[in-house]
Structures are given as C-alpha cells and as structure tokens.
Structure 1
Amino acid sequence: MIQVPFFSVRDLVVDYGGVRAIDGVHLEINKGEIRGLIGPNGAGKSTFIDAVTGRRIPTAGQVQLGGEDITQLAVVARRMRGVSRSFQRTSIFHDMNVLEQVFLASHQAQAKDPERDAVAILEELDLLQYADWRAGDLGYGQQRRLDLALALVGSPSVLLLDEPMAGLTVTESRDLAQHLKRLARERNVTVLLVEHDMEVVFGISDRVTVLELGKPLAEGTPDEIRANPKVREAYLGSAA
C-alpha cells in the first residue's frame, strides 16, 4: 500500500500577470515533520505560503491535506480543516489583554473548550503569567510567542510560519525555536517554516527545501543542504 504524504503541494504555479512567481513546486511533508523553506529574497517563499493557505488561488497545481484536495478552499475553510499560519508581522491586538485574545482566537477556531485551549497554549509558551497583561506591554520576543499562540489554538494539524524570528535577538530566536520544536513534537503538528535565520532552520528542521526564482533548487536534510554546492552558490555563501 502506497503511503500518502500528510501534506503535499503538487506542481504549484502562481502567476502575477505576466510574471511567474512560483513555477512547478512539488513538496511532500510527513505528519509531525518540521520542514524548512529557504531561498534568497524574491525566491517566492511568501507567495508560496499565500497559495498554500488560500490567500491566493494558484494558477495551476494542487494542495492536499490528508489526501483531500483543498486547492480551491478559502482561508477560513482551510483553517477549520487544520491549516494555520503566522505572518512576517505580528497579528496580535495590542490593546487587548493576552488571555482574552487567545481565548477569542480559540473560540473562532472552534476548539472544544476554548478557555482550556487558550490557557494550555499560554502555559506551554511561558506566557500564562502575562495572561492579564495588555499585549502591547509585552516585550517583542513575548509578542512573537503570543503570535505563535494565536496560530496554535484549536490544535491545527499544519502550521505555516512566515519568518517568525523576524526582529528578534539571537537569544530570543533560539528560545522561540526551541518552543516551536517542542510544541511540534508534543502536538504532532506538521510545520512549514520560512525563515532567514539559518541557524534556526538547520537547528530544528527535519528536512529543508530551497527555492530560487520560484523553482525548487534542492531538498534534503540540513547537513545535505549545507553541503550542496548549488545552494551555497545561490544563497548560503561561503560561511554556510
């Protein structure tokens, strides 16, 4: 019996007018896997995430979750099926307290017990002590963790993260990366991580896919990608 990948993208194409931003990308991710997605600026990483999550309907290709074709589903419908994402910029509400907004997000995601779900997420991300704080009063690293909490409510099966370490210090990046790795393992969440911090990507990813000009350049374990001469030339540089 052939095993179907839990989350797959097949021959994805995205056009912006006459410009082909994504050109035939094929990606298969197993349940519980952390997959890094890297590439130079303009490689099409954010466009790829938008197409996978329903913010942009692809020109061609297919997105499957657990064998179901979800290519034409809207963002909300995909979220209800377990596909969640975060953005390069935090999506928190600065004037709302921490617990309230996580609870509301959990309720919107139709968690069975939104209050318990919200408290559990905050506790796992070391944010429960700030439950009554106004989100805007948190430090930036804590705001990034809160953003991750909002993406994790409702127990999604797939989590797509678009540069979650952006703007963080080295220490904050490593801390958030370890939270992410632990939560992915404990919750058996499939993660697609777009990130410029190579130490984070290589440190927590099971496999890494490299894009260049909208096309797949290479795929492999972190060690294989580090050693790949095409990747080093196109992106990583001699310091990789």
Structure 2
Amino acid sequence: MTSNRAKEQAGASADLRVSDLDVRFGDFKALEGIAIEVWPGEIVGVIGPNGAGKSTLVNALTGVVAPTAGTIELCGRALQRERPNARAKLGLLRTFQTAELFGSLSVNDNISLGIRRAVAERGRDAARIAIERLGVGPLVGLKADDLSGGERKLVELVRSVAGVPDLLLLDEPVAGVPVHDRQRVIELLRDHIARTGASTLLIEHDMEFISGICDWIYVMAAGEIIASGPWAAISTNEVVLEAYLGSSV
C-alpha cells in the first residue's frame, strides 16, 4: 500500500479535513483537539481502546452530535452546520456498528436505496461489483430481517458503496463478519477506491484487518489523538502500547 499523503505537497485537496475538533457533554470533554486528514485514494483507520472517543468522533463527523469547537471539511466544504442527511447528499456515507437495514425490505430493495444516492448508472455498476465481490448474490431476494449479523454488515457495505460516496465512513465493518469473508471486504474497498478515486475512514478493533488495509492510522485515547502513522510505526509505538495496557496492538 502506498499512502497518498504526498499529494498535499503537490497541491491536492484532502477529502476529509478535521481541525481542532472538540465535543463536550456538559462538563465532560469527549473529544479534544482532534485533527484528522483523509486524502483521495486513502484508507485511513482510527483505533483505540474502549472509551477512547471513537464513536463520538463518528457521530460528530456524521452530524449526530454537534461539535463544541473546530471544523469538519469534506472536499473543501464545511460540514459542521450540516444535518446528517445533507452530509450524505454531499458525499459522506456511513455504516454502523450494528448494521442498520430496513428489515421488512428485501436485500435488493435495501441496496437500491443506496443506488438512488448516485448517478443511476454508476450506482448500479458499483452495486453489481460489490455484490459480486462480497458474494452476497444469493441473499438479494431475502428480507433483511432474515439475515445473520455478518450478512447484514456485508449488505450494508454494498448499499453504502452503491451510493458512490466521496468518503466512506465505516464503523467496525468486519464485526461479526466471518474471517474468510474479511479478505473480500479488503478487496472490495481497494477496488472501489481504484475505480472511483474516493477515500475511506474506518473505525475497527480487528488489528489484523487494520494492518492489512490501512495506509494511515490514527490512535485515540481519552478523547485525543495520541499517535498517527503507518502500521509499522503504530504497532511499535510505546505510547500506543501503553494505551492498550501494554498489550500488542
């Protein structure tokens, strides 16, 4: 994997730029001074122990919670005042820790909702490729309520990719997904980026998955970014190891 961060020096613009982001709940500071960049073509990971603030970060980026301070820019456009649906229309699509599908609808109908967010032909092509890559073709006629947890995660990913977003925000994309299907997720995301030039920011606890897919990684603890870099640097960083209670990440 080759990071595209050199594009900054070549005058390119980041797909996502988060600067000095704070989130408070009363007297509790959930996030402080968060600064994150995701460049075109990158897959960027955010990791950290439970309670680090990862979920709050996702909610701030998607408009579920309002930041106390700081800026969020998608392709140069400020998002912090935009509602969640407006952010989706502007090109920021997400998945959830627990896949959110319309249970009474078929898998095919759920995916079709994603296609509507894109130019029709591009959306259909993206959906077709994602269905093939993830092997979910046999599921398309089933109701979403009849799927396993792992199958729901894969279908939600297909729906998001079908929207052809500028930035795909994935919240634990392989949680509950069988190990043998995780390589398919990696291949889909890399293919999607290669075809569209989009980027991905993902939150994940599976370090084998993170190490195998991410160009750049941010590490959070107690609401702050404590380290960033490629996996080779992160996995040997003493500050990171201490944040994980001395265990190998």
1:104 corresponds to which of 113, 134, 144: 113
Amino acid at match of 1:225: I
Alpha-carbon distance in structure 2 between the residues aligned to 1:103 and 1:175? 21
Amino acid at match of 2:23: V
2:88 corresponds to which of 79, 95, 98: 79
* Counterpart check, 1:9 vs 2:18: yes
1:70 corresponds to which of 68, 79, 83: 79
Residues 116 and 221 of structure 1, relative CA distance in 2, 3 Å threshold = closer
Name the counterpart of 2:35. 26
Residues 34 and 118 of structure 1, relative CA distance in 2, 3 Å threshold = closer
The SS at the match of 1:191 is: strand
**Within-5 A mapping of 1:34-53:** 34-53=43-62
The SS at the match of 1:77 is: helix
* Counterpart check, 1:132 vs 2:180: no
Q: What are structure 1's unaligned runs of at least 5 residues?
A: none
Alpha-carbon distance in structure 2 between the residues aligned to 1:3 and 1:201? 25
2:132 corresponds to which of 95, 113, 123: 123
Q: Retained in 1: the 8 A contact 2:127–2:161?
A: no
Alpha-carbon distance in structure 2 between the residues aligned to 1:167 and 1:116? 27
Q: Retained in 2: the 8 A contact 1:119–1:128?
A: no
Amino acid at match of 2:209: V
Alpha-carbon distance in structure 2 between the residues aligned to 1:180 and 1:110? 17
Amino acid at match of 1:75: P
Amino acid at match of 1:90: A
Question: 1:202 deviation in Å?
Answer: 1.0
Amino acid at match of 1:42: G
Name the counterpart of 2:6. none
How many pairs align?
239
Name the counterpart of 2:152. 143
The TM-score, its normalising length taken from structure 2, stands at 0.87
Q: Retained in 2: the 8 A contact 1:70–1:78?
A: yes
Question: 1:191 deviation in Å?
Answer: 0.7
Name the counterpart of 1:225. 234
Alpha-carbon distance in structure 1 between the residues aligned to 2:187 and 2:126? 21
- Give CA-to-partner distance per residue, 1:169-200, whole Å, 9 cap, x none: 33333443333333333332211110000110
Amino acid at match of 1:111: V
Q: Retained in 2: the 8 A contact 1:127–1:146?
A: yes
Residues 170 and 191 of structure 1, relative CA distance in 2, 3 Å threshold = same
Q: Retained in 2: the 8 A contact 1:88–1:166?
A: yes
Which one is further off, 32-41 or 227-236? 227-236
Q: Retained in 2: the 8 A contact 1:36–1:208?
A: yes
Q: What are structure 2's unaligned runs of at least 5 residues?
A: 1-9
C-alpha RMSD of matched pairs (Å): 2.1
The TM-score, its normalising length taken from structure 1, stands at 0.90
Amino acid at match of 1:105: G
Alpha-carbon distance in structure 2 between the residues aligned to 1:214 and 1:234? 12
Question: 1:104 deviation in Å?
Answer: 2.6
Residues 126 and 188 of structure 1, relative CA distance in 2, 3 Å threshold = farther
Q: Retained in 1: the 8 A contact 2:133–2:184?
A: no
